[in-house]
Structure 1
Amino acid sequence: MNNKLTDAIKHLIIINVIVFVAPQLLKLDFSNMLALHYPKNEHFGIWQYITHMFMHGSFGHILFNMYGLWAFGTPLEQMWGKKKFVFFYFSAGIGAGLIYTLANYYQFSSIYDQLIGFGLTPENIQNILNIGSYNDSRIALSNEKMIEFYSLYHTPAVGASGAVYGVLVAFGMYFKDAKLALIFFPVPIAAKYFIPFILLGDLFFGMTKYSVGNVAHFAHIGGALIGFLIAWYWKKNQFKMH
């Protein structure tokens, strides 16, 4: 295995860079159309489960994801071939979006049901979501919980992270003894130890309030899960692959 830029990864990186740079040069905002919105939001479109994978919120965001795609995806594409790798990448990315939506739906519905229980009507709740404020003595929830409710509805998800996490997990399955040299850790660490560690971190941060920054932890977990299932199946049945 060498680090030569493979075909699918080269094209994926090019598309990601174009989608990141072009709107800035043209001074256009495509987030309402392409980012993944909550299904009940007026801007939601089913195509966003694919298009959100090509949008990024910052230079650091796209740099980290494209580096991960190149570093961990290259040996996988060399092993699987272009078609299988593209199928895997999009499956992990779409799966990440679906599991992220399910997690958000659970959180959103929980708060929504509480508001209904307080005596608010669906119209009352939609009005709160539309204007972003409320003045109703019946609402016995903390301001933090209401901000979370508003954010779940309005904040879209962007980034290739879910797909890249799928790639990362597959890399760990096929190259578990590969040593990873990390900037923030002075000693190279084997993939079989590092990858479960960061997944447990995402699970912890996704289920608690300790997350640093606006990170879609359940998208990471979703991409990792779908990636694991596909890679496990292919590895188990690799004698049948052509």
Structure 2
Amino acid sequence: MQSWNNSGGSGFSIGPRALTPAIKNIIIANIVVFLFMNLLGSGIDIFVHYLGLNPELVLTRLMIWQPFTYMFLHGGAMHLFMNMLILWLFGTELEMLWGQREFYRFYFITGIGAGLFSVVPYFIGVLTQGASFAPVIIGASGAIYGILLAFALTWPNRTVYLYFIMPMKVKYLMLIMGIITFLSVGNQDGVSHLTHLGGLLVAWLYLRFHGNYQNLNFNLKQDFSRIIDKIKNIRFEQEGDQPTSSRPKQQGKNSGWHKVENSAVPNPDRTRSELDRLLDKINRVGYEQLSDAEKKRL
């Protein structure tokens, strides 16, 4: 993702101009920990055991530091790179707006809150069933999702380039990410979607009720509601049937409405039908079951 920053003047800039102090320190800390982990060799498992987030150890052995330390551990170079890249692209302006101290507070509250949110299912499982599966969680993604949400709520109409190609308003990007994250909770794909969801929830609560942020433009939810209503109201075609269209009927030769055969112009009805098919498949089998072509189309 690439952030496009309209400077308000005659020009524009791509991405942040420089690393701000808090983001620079966070990135350095994550890189140092990653390099140290890779120097440990076989000892890395012990390192992750004590510093990764294991809900069982947090509750039974009171390793209460884990909801903090897990944010500095990453499972691979790409995992680390993507988290730090998004932090840099979207966090810089937030730190410039809030200040270094407040940015630290938001980042760590969101990350720790996301970690604690991930402990809840294990706790519920122990209470209801006497045992529960407790995967070890590592990575800063919970806090990163909070940063993305804060950016979207602060500058909802800012344009970002998805995969550096497709322009999209950041508020719609967050809507899509939120839906995918929610639908993916419970998937056994090696990704802690629940932690991501917790990051979004904690960030929203912090921004919504913290005194300094009560004046944010939370009309964003009206935009999201409008989109959801449109999706719900779409009547999708059955196989072999023509989709229902709300376009005006052609009134005459000069009405301006005409049929284009074999044109490269996108067909809105076909697009809606494809959207319905993809959303229905996500609802049935999960986002990860989509083919690469379907994910690109979505």
Normalising by structure 1, we get a TM-score of: 0.74
Find the counterpart in structure 1 of residue 195 from structure 2. Answer: 219
Contact 1:73 1:171 in 2 (8 A): yes
Q: Which residue of 1 aligns with 2:166?
A: 187
**Residues 54-65 of structure 1: pairs in structure 2 closer than 5 A:** 54-65=72-83
Provide the rounded CA distance (Å) in 1 between the counterparts of 2:115 and 2:202.
11
Q: Tell whether the 8 Å contact from 2:158 to 2:169 is kept in structure 1 after alignment.
A: yes
Pair 1:32-2:32 in alignment: no
Q: Percent identity?
A: 35
Tell me, yes or no, if the aligned pair for 1:38 and 1:44 is still in contact at 8 Å. no
> CA 1:44–1:38 in structure 2 vs 1: closer, same or farther (change >3 Å)?
farther
Structure 1 ranges of 4+ moved more than 4 A? 40-44, 107-111
Residue 73 of structure 1 and its aligned partner are, at CA, apart by 0.7
Does residue 87 in structure 1 map to residue 87 in structure 2? no
Report the CA distance between 1:186 and its aligned residue.
Answer: 4.2
In the alignment of these two chains, the number of paired residues is 196
> 1:97 & 1:217 partners in 2: Cα distance?
11
Deviations 1:85-131 (A, max 9, x none): 0000000001001111113333454443xxxxxxxxxxxx7xxxxxx
Alpha-carbon separation, structure 2, partners of 1:235 and 1:108:
37
Contact 1:37–1:43 (8 Å) recurs in 2 = no
TM-score, normalisation: structure 2: 0.61
Question: Which ranges of structure 1 fall in alignment gaps of 5 or more residues?
Answer: 113-124, 126-148
Q: For 2:35 and 2:138, how far apart are their aligned partners in 1? A: 15
* 1:196 maps to 2:179: no
Query: Corresponding residue for 2:87?
Result: 69
State the distance in 2 between where 1:43 and 1:165 align: 29
1:1-242 equivalences under 5 Å are: 2-27=16-41, 28-29=43-44, 30-40=47-57, 45-107=63-125, 109-112=127-130, 149=132, 152-153=133-134, 155-183=135-163, 186-206=165-185, 208=186, 211=187, 213-232=189-208, 233=210, 234-236=212-214
Instruction: Give the deviation of 1:26 after TM superposition.
Output: 3.5
State the superposition RMSD in angstroms: 2.1
Rounded Cα–Cα distance in structure 2 between residues aligned with 1:5 and 1:169: 20
Determine which structure has the larger helix proportion and give its number: 1
AA at the equivalent of 2:104: V
1:33/1:48 contact within 8 Å kept: yes
Tell me how far apart the structure 2 counterparts of residues 55 and 236 of structure 1 sit (CA, whole Å): 33
Q: State the alpha-carbon separation in 2 of the partners of residues 65 and 74 from structure 1.
A: 14
Which consecutive unaligned segments of at least 5 residues does structure 2 have? 1-6, 8-15, 217-298
Q: Distance in 2 between matches of 1:175 and 1:165?
A: 15
